[in-house]
Chain A
Amino acid sequence: QKVAATDVMGKLPEREKEYDELVSYVENVLSADGSGSLYISGPPGTGKTATLQRILNHQSFVKKLKPVYINCTSIKSVGSIYKKITEELDLKVSGTTEKAYQAAIEAYLQRKHKTIMLVLDEIDQLSSSKQTILYSIFEWPVQPTARLILIGIANALDLTDRLLARLQARCELKPHLIQFLPYTKQQIVTILKSSLEETNSLARFPEAALGLLAAKVASTSGDIRRALFIARRLVESAKKEDRKGNLTTPTVVSMGHVMTVLKQVYGASQTLANDLEEGFPLQQKLLICSLMLLLKHGKNKDITVGKLHDVYKTICTKRNIQAVDQTEFIGLCSLVETRGIVRLQGKKEPRMHRVCLQWDEEEKIPPM
């Protein structure tokens, strides 16, 4: 009854090509009894970690490989990655310094051992000022007896080129790049179908609704987590209606449902404009209006809180509204800031903070 967010063990639809590429790469390395390094990049929610988990659990590799999976967000500081690796490899270390751990790993790589598959997830967390650690890690596979497959995973496309420029100098050091592209519309449809089939709720989704959902997600991010999430929400609401109405035939997700959920999810500022009607305090409205007035007619676009307060006070006295004093006004500004409408910049004196409009002016005029 679930649409699980990540389906780790099972097959990943639409990632077969990358999976096959990875498998053949690992097999090549294994058959040559050598070592290699890989860098996998792609935006969030494109199945990088899930694919890697499949590789780690691959039948034919389990016996030949020693898998080490480390998520780099879990380490204390950049240097303690060595300690983590030694712990995963069960090495005995004499000493507790970073150097000692590093030396222990390098000594282990010299000895005879099973091929290690070291997966470093979110590897961009390891970047330090001189990148010494990343360099030393990426240099391990080059040692003749290393027998190490190093796999780094991160979001940035060009991490190795940007951070590790020195690796370019030597061909054998250059990691093999694999890119995970954002899912296209068709791929998202296939994935959604397969996961809906698993949960026996495919009947609820007409083809057109799926297509609309997939097209919308693919056009903005291609993030499968989002698509699965929206699908799950739709199925849940359909089920709720089942419970309410006690119907014999299951409720079908209509195009209208999809549109409302998508609007809720993507049109954040539109819904904000609707909310403005309901419960947006009057003084905050006045604040934004005076800011817009200043932006439109003032010569200087550099608006400070003090100046805004002066304008606001003149407006208030003209309209016969009681104006708030400066301390209160600064509080008002920060309240408006939490709504994401303006941004306050500057560090010290609140009166000297600069006020910047975050929203588009056109977007604000109709609700005002």
Chain B
Amino acid sequence: SALQPAGTPKRNIQLSNIIEECSNGRRVSRLLELSPKKPQPEQMEEPKTPKRSTRPSLGTTGSSATKSTPKSASKMKLIRDGTIKPTIHARSAPLGDGANELALARERLHVSATPSSLPCREKEYEEIYNFLEGKIFDGVGGCMYISGVPGTGKTATTTAVIRALRHLSEEEHIPKFDFIDINGMRLTEPRQAYVHIHRQLTGKTLAWEQAYNLLNKRFTTKAPRRTTTVLLVDELDILCNKRQDVVYNILNWPTLATAQLIVVTIANTMDLPERLLMGKISSRLGLTRLTFQPYNFRQLQEIVMARLAGMSSFNSDAVQLVARKVAAVSGDARRALDICRRATELADDQARQTGEQVTVSMTHVQQALTEMITSAKVRTIRSSSRMEQLFLQAVTAEVTRTGIEECNFLGVYSQLEALAAFSGVSVPNPGRAMGICARLTASRILICEGGRNDIFQKILLNISTDDVHFALQASKLL
């Protein structure tokens, strides 16, 4: 830079220079006087050298060739090829086993602790097992559709069947097979399904188009030594976009004689093939359907008791109460397990306070249930300010007066005036009343339309009027 003619302003000031200067604790104005008079080459280089040396090396060969490529790019390449596996930092020392029986029960009651055998799903297990075993033996493809409301053991049963079949194939009772699973919820976009399938088959990550072409080639060409592939598609409804091309392709491959692909699809909705899928796709999906019914209370009881086998920390009546409550609402096993866990936590708290052994009893379960069931909205109304309560009362009064659920702010305000006069408080002006309205909307007790309609805005009650009355009785407003 010293060779440059004097007086020429330096134009090519790099952004990186400025940042480095700043980070070095120097003022930016110093950089602006990068005139030919004061080049200061030593000081310019100063910030760069330590940076290089402190940059952590990746453990690859330290040749000049690798240096020229950015480290992150080469690392990405290794990740895409599947050479580096993702790892996670480990704890410095493992956690000690909680000797407490309640802690053990809590661990066993966790939803993620899938038991070795699933109670109350023997029939479904057998049906899936027979389907898959028959197809694997014959070396043909096929489709199966499994549906059922959440928490009824769909995925757990299917994976248990596949685990059993893998075990058999390792002992060479049945032919070998590959197992792939994709989950619609884990894909950012339906077409990413191809990428995931291909990665599980080969370990490489490609763009979806390439992955699709390779998969299509794999499934359409004949290969005499091909093993059967079992593909589990969870959350099928997420994979349905408007064109439904991904679902079409995934369900079209099994119909080809060359593919030897067995697709097991899982979704919540019972009539998904008729409701959402095109005719040509539901024709390919076939008619092997299996529906998982919600658990009834006996089954839920059995599930919880099976997890707690050999433990005396749980009162059996308490389990029955949980089972009955959950079975009446949804029949969701996850929910029953969660309530039981919460009950053990409550019992644990009590044990810590009193310092003696506690078994989980009806009272704990009742407490856990009320925690889950009591309406947060009623509590919110009870703890809201006097004027907010008055405003809510005005809304209910307006709803009863007009008989329509939707009322506008003006009507509510006149009701509010009357109510305030009645209870002897001063009326807030409309602006402040609008503030109250906005606060109640933010906690979702009211629903207001957006925009700037001010006194003409529409107000809807988001809870029933009975609930409002019930909540306000305690605060002695009514």
A residues 200-233 near B (Cβ < 8 Å) are 221, 223, 225-226, 229-230, 233
**In the assembled complex, A265 has its CB within 8 A of some CB on chain B:** yes
Instruction: Identify which of A223, A306, A332, A339 contacts B283 (C-beta below 8 A).
Output: A223
Q: Is the CB of B466 within 8 A of A349?
A: no
- Given A7-B257, A326-B377, 10 more pairs with CB closer than 8 A: A71-B252, A73-B243, A73-B245, A74-B212, A125-B245, A223-B283, A236-B134, A281-B330, A337-B269, A351-B447
The 6 closest A-B pairs by CB, nearest first: A44-B283, A340-B271, A325-B375, A44-B280, A279-B293, A73-B245
B residues 118-144 near A (Cβ < 8 Å) are 130, 134, 138-141
B residues 400-443 near A (Cβ < 8 Å) are 405
Contact with B along A319-334 (1 / 0, CB 8 A): 0000011111001100
A339 in contact with B270 given A325-B375, A326-B377, A326-B464 (CB within 8 Å): yes
Q: Is the CB of A278 within 8 A of B293?
A: yes
Least CB distance from B120 to A in Å reads 10
**In the assembled complex, B329 has its CB within 8 A of some CB on chain A:** yes
Instruction: Identify which of A125, A326, A338 contacts B270 (C-beta below 8 A).
Output: A338
Report chain A residues within 8 Å CB of B149. Answer: 335, 338-339
**In the assembled complex, B80 has its CB within 8 A of some CB on chain A:** no
Residue of B nearest to A6 (CB): B255
Q: Is the CB of B249 within 8 A of A349?
A: no
User: Which A residues form the contact surface with B (CB < 8 A)?
Assistant: 1-2, 4-8, 43-45, 71, 73-74, 76, 122, 125, 155, 221, 223, 225-226, 229-230, 233, 236, 240, 265, 268, 272, 275, 278-284, 304, 306, 309-310, 313, 324-328, 331-332, 335, 337-340, 349, 351-352
In the docked arrangement, what's the CA distance between A332 and B328, Å? 11
**In the assembled complex, B286 has its CB within 8 A of some CB on chain A:** yes
Q: Is the CB of A8 within 8 A of B257?
A: yes
**In the assembled complex, B256 has its CB within 8 A of some CB on chain A:** yes
In the docked arrangement, what's the CA distance between A352 and B462, Å? 9
Least CB distance from A258 to B in Å reads 14
In the docked arrangement, what's the CA distance between A349 and B375, Å? 18
9 A-B pairs with CB atoms under 8 Å apart are: A2-B140, A5-B257, A6-B257, A43-B279, A310-B464, A325-B377, A326-B464, A328-B373, A340-B269
Q: How many A-B residue pairs have CB under 8 A?
A: 137
In the docked arrangement, what's the CA distance between A241 and B299, Å? 30
Least CB distance from A106 to B in Å reads 24
In the docked arrangement, what's the CA distance between A4 and B259, Å? 12
A340 in contact with B270 given A73-B248, A74-B245 (CB within 8 Å): yes
A6 in contact with B256 given A226-B283, A265-B287, A349-B462 (CB within 8 Å): yes
Instruction: Identify which of B140, B249, B294 contacts A74 (C-beta below 8 A).
Output: B249
Least CB distance from B154 to A in Å reads 12
Residue with the greatest number of chain A CB neighbours at <10 A, chosen from B149, B295, B447: B149
Q: Is the CB of B138 within 8 A of A309?
A: no
Q: Is the CB of A279 within 8 A of B270?
A: no
A275 in contact with B293 given A265-B287, A324-B329 (CB within 8 Å): yes
Residue of A nearest to B294 (CB): A279
In the docked arrangement, what's the CA distance between A71 and B245, Å? 10
Report chain A residues within 8 Å CB of B330. Answer: 281, 283-284, 331-332, 335
Q: Is the CB of B255 within 8 A of A281?
A: no
Residue of B nearest to A77 (CB): B243
In the docked arrangement, what's the CA distance between A339 and B293, Å? 10
Residue with the greatest number of chain A CB neighbours at <10 A, chosen from B139, B279, B287: B287
Residue of A nearest to B447 (CB): A349
B-side interface residues, number (CB < 8 Å): 58
**In the assembled complex, B389 has its CB within 8 A of some CB on chain A:** no
Q: Is the CB of A352 within 8 A of B283?
A: no
A268 in contact with B331 given A45-B283, A278-B296 (CB within 8 Å): no
Q: Is the CB of B329 within 8 A of A4?
A: no
Least CB distance from B380 to A in Å reads 12
Q: Is the CB of A2 within 8 A of B138?
A: yes
Report chain B residues within 8 Å CB of A7. Answer: 257
**In the assembled complex, B457 has its CB within 8 A of some CB on chain A:** no
Majority SS of interface residues in chain A?
helix
Least CB distance from A263 to B in Å reads 12
Report chain A residues within 8 Å CB of B295. Answer: 279
Instruction: Identify which of B270, B271, B296, B329 contacts A332 (C-beta below 8 A).
Output: B329
Report chain B residues within 8 Å CB of A236. Answer: 134
**In the assembled complex, B284 has its CB within 8 A of some CB on chain A:** yes
Least CB distance from B229 to A in Å reads 16
Residue of B nearest to A350 (CB): B462
User: Which B residues form the contact surface with A (CB < 8 A)?
Assistant: 130, 134, 138-141, 147, 149-150, 209, 212, 216, 243, 245, 248-249, 252, 254-257, 268-271, 275, 279-280, 283-284, 286-288, 291, 293-296, 299, 327-331, 373-378, 405, 447, 460, 462-464, 466-467
In the docked arrangement, what's the CA distance between A228 and B462, Å? 53
Q: Is the CB of A328 within 8 A of B460?
A: no
Q: Is the CB of A225 within 8 A of B284?
A: yes
In the docked arrangement, what's the CA distance between A309 and B405, Å? 14
Q: Is the CB of A351 within 8 A of B255?
A: no
Report chain B residues within 8 Å CB of A331. Answer: 330
In the docked arrangement, what's the CA distance between A340 and B269, Å? 7
Instruction: Identify which of A125, A226, A309, A325 contacts B287 (C-beta below 8 A).
Output: A226
Report chain A residues within 8 Å CB of B299. Answer: 279
Q: Is the CB of B270 within 8 A of A225?
A: no
In the docked arrangement, what's the CA distance between A352 and B458, Å? 14
In the docked arrangement, what's the CA distance between A2 and B137, Å? 11
Residue of B nearest to A221 (CB): B283
Residue with the greatest number of chain A CB neighbours at <10 A, chosen from B134, B328, B462: B328
Report chain A residues within 8 Å CB of B140. Answer: 2, 4
In the docked arrangement, what's the CA distance between A247 and B42, Å? 96
In the docked arrangement, what's the CA distance between A8 and B330, Å? 47
Residue of B nearest to A280 (CB): B294
Q: Is the CB of A279 within 8 A of B331?
A: yes
Residue of B nearest to A73 (CB): B245
Least CB distance from B474 to A in Å reads 16
Report chain A residues within 8 Å CB of B252. Answer: 71, 73
Report chain B residues within 8 Å CB of A339. Answer: 149, 270
Report chain A residues within 8 Å CB of B291. Answer: 275
Report chain B residues within 8 Å CB of A337. Answer: 269
Q: Is the CB of B284 within 8 A of A282?
A: no
Least CB distance from A287 to B in Å reads 10
Q: Is the CB of B464 within 8 A of A4?
A: no
Least CB distance from B294 to A in Å reads 5
Q: Is the CB of B377 within 8 A of A281?
A: no
Q: Is the CB of A283 within 8 A of B328?
A: yes
In the docked arrangement, what's the CA distance between A313 and B280, Å? 44
In the docked arrangement, what's the CA distance between A226 and B273, Å? 14
Q: Is the CB of A155 within 8 A of B257?
A: no
Residue with the greatest number of chain A CB neighbours at <10 A, chosen from B139, B283, B288, B405: B283
Residue of A nearest to B298 (CB): A279
Least CB distance from A90 to B in Å reads 16
Report chain B residues within 8 Å CB of A272. Answer: 270
Least CB distance from A242 to B in Å reads 13
In the docked arrangement, what's the CA distance between A86 and B378, Å? 67
Report chain B residues within 8 Å CB of A122. Answer: 248, 280
Report chain A residues within 8 Å CB of B327. Answer: 279, 281-282
Report chain A residues within 8 Å CB of B294. Answer: 279-281
A5 in contact with B283 given A73-B248, A339-B270 (CB within 8 Å): no
